[in-house]
């Protein structure tokens, strides 16, 4: 009689344990570490909330900075799952080093370059700022894509050498924005999306896109990481029409636009 009773109890216990184990697996949290260009922060704050709402088992942690600096961190072994770059060259460099998974990334949004100044400064144009301004801030061209685009522009209009004594180089585009907002410089060159996030400055001029390389943002999944499936899910999420709308609301340009 006891043997007959014992078998159903044992079977029930095994089934219960398997069920509990399965529930634990479903509820297991995955944390993605994302290294993103500083200019993406405002958009990513909104995108993070939406992504985590739709994928409650995945949490996102962001590390912001200049794309060149973030590239170097990944090359040096930083524990990063996703790389969001403000320039194709940084993305391509990691791809060529086999540090990004092929066919799991690409461009996801675009931007434009603008010249800004504090609200109490009145400059008629970019040339007016160059001639009358005291200090002009740009990102470090070697590590900050916005700085590289700014340098390209200044070289194209023949002002790069002339402006050397006035340049203040910043670690990322957000630092340029802060320098202008705090009136530590006469003006600066930032992305259109950064200028849209501030009420403490004026846009003097939108830079002709023919004066610099196309500004496209690239996202990729870092190779040899355990969370590549979830990382790929996040990259795909950036192309969602509702997410593209968030980028537009923050001053970016849809990837489909010419």
* Residues in binding site for molybdate: 39, 67, 146, 173, 191
Residue 39 parent element (H or E): none
Compute the distance between CA of residue 203 and CA of residue 189 in angstroms, rounded to an integer.
Answer: 10
| Alpha-carbon span 104 to 8, nearest angstrom | 49
- What order do you get walking across the sheet with 113-118 strand by strand? 167-170, 136-139, 187-191, 113-118, 201-206
d(CA 247, CA 229): 24
Q: Which residues are annotated as a binding site?
A: 39, 67, 146, 173, 191
Contacting residues for 254 by C-beta, under 8 A, at least 6 apart: 109, 110, 244, 247, 248
Helix, strand or coil, per DSSP, at residue 61: strand
Q: At what angle do helices 88-96 and 67-75 cross, to 10 degrees?
A: 10
Distance between CA atoms of 120 and 103, rounded to whole angstroms? 48
Q: Read out DSSP for 243-255? A: HHHHHHHTT-B-T
């Amino acid at each position: 009689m006891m043997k007959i009773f014992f078998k159903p109890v044992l079977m029930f216990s095994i089934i219960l344990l398997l069920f509990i184990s399965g529930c634990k697996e479903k509820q297991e949290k995955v944390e993605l570490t994302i290294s993103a260009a500083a200019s993406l922060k405002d958009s990513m704050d909104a995108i993070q909330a939406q992504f985590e709402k739709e994928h409650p088992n995945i949490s996102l942690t962001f590390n912001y900075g200049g794309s060149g600096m973030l590239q170097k961190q990944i090359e040096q072994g930083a524990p990063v799952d996703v790389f969001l770059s403000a320039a194709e060259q940084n993305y391509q460099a990691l791809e060529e080093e086999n540090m990004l998974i092929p066919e799991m990334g690409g461009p996801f949004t675009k931007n434009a370059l603008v010249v800004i100044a504090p609200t109490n400064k009145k400059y008629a144009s970019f040339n007016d700022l160059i001639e009358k301004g005291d200090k002009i801030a740009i990102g470090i061209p070697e590590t900050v894509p916005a700085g590289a685009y700014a340098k390209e522009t200044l070289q194209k209009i023949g002002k790069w050498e002339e402006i050397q004594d006035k340049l203040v180089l910043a670690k990322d585009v957000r630092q340029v924005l802060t320098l202008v907002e705090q009136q530590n410089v006469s003006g600066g060159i930032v992305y259109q999306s950064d200028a849209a996030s501030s009420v403490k400055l004026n846009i003097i001029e939108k830079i002709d896109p023919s004066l610099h390389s196309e500004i496209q943002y690239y996202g990729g999944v870092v190779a040899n990481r355990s969370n590549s499936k979830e990382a790929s899910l996040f990259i795909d999420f950036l192309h969602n029409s509702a997410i593209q709308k968030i980028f537009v609301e923050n001053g970016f340009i849809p990837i489909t636009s010419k």
